[in-house]
Amino acid sequence: MKKKPPWVGHQKGAQKMELFIEWCMECPDIKRVTVFALSSENLNRPKEEVQALWDVYKQTLKKYVTDPRIKKHEIKVRVLGDDGVWEPSFKDMVGEVVNSTRNYSKHVLNIMLAYGSKFEINRAIKEVIKKPIKTIDKTLLVKEPLDLIIRTGGQCRLSDFMLYQASYAEIYFSNTLWPEFTKKEFDKIIKWYYEQQKNFGR
């Protein structure tokens, strides 16, 4: 993506996400997929790039409304994050895709947009204060713990991604940039995951 506008990379990344979901559906044990599409900090990028990001995500969600693969695998699509900063037209598209997949239950696709762990935990604490009988776990945007995190692009950090849910997750750091990520590498990582011994602190 060198010497090209940054949103070209975002478009390629969105296309890769579609392929990635297909790969996940080939693994019977994978029931939930969570994609870190846009962080809270990403909204501080130049206005033109941020607008292009919203356009890419709107186009992607629009596809999911009628995508036969979503229907075939019965994937419930959830879009989660700080909806207070979402564009109105994006909110409308979220409502459309969520409504069109609300009755599916075989798989769940969480798309995290304008998301950060700090935002999620602060939000959860506010909910707990309102209703003390709840625990933080029950007020998080994503309540289930993560099993595997794949971080692409050669960065060895989580970048404020689901820190609470990642407490016992296996983390694989790949040097491959997301648009160049391949099925071969995905299969290698899944094999690596099954070779790990999970002790959950014991």
112: domain CATH number? 3.40.1180.10
Q: Is residue 89 part of a domain?
A: yes
CA–CA gap between residue 75 and residue 84 (Å, rounded): 25
Residues in the chain: 202
Instruction: Please identify every stretch of the chain with a pLDDT value under 70, giving residue numbers as ranges.
Output: 1-7, 132-134, 199-202
Q: Is residue 200 part of a domain?
A: no
CA dihedral 129→87→32→9, nearest 10 degrees, is: -130
Q: Is residue 62 part of a domain?
A: yes
Neighbouring-strand partners of residue 59: none
Range of the domain at 58: 6-195
What pLDDT score does 81 carry? 96
Return the H-helix or E-strand segment holding 162. Answer: none
What pLDDT score does 49 carry? 85
For the entire predicted model, the pTM comes to 0.85
Q: Is residue 185 part of a domain?
A: yes
| Count of the separate structural domains present in the chain | 1
What pLDDT score does 101 carry? 97
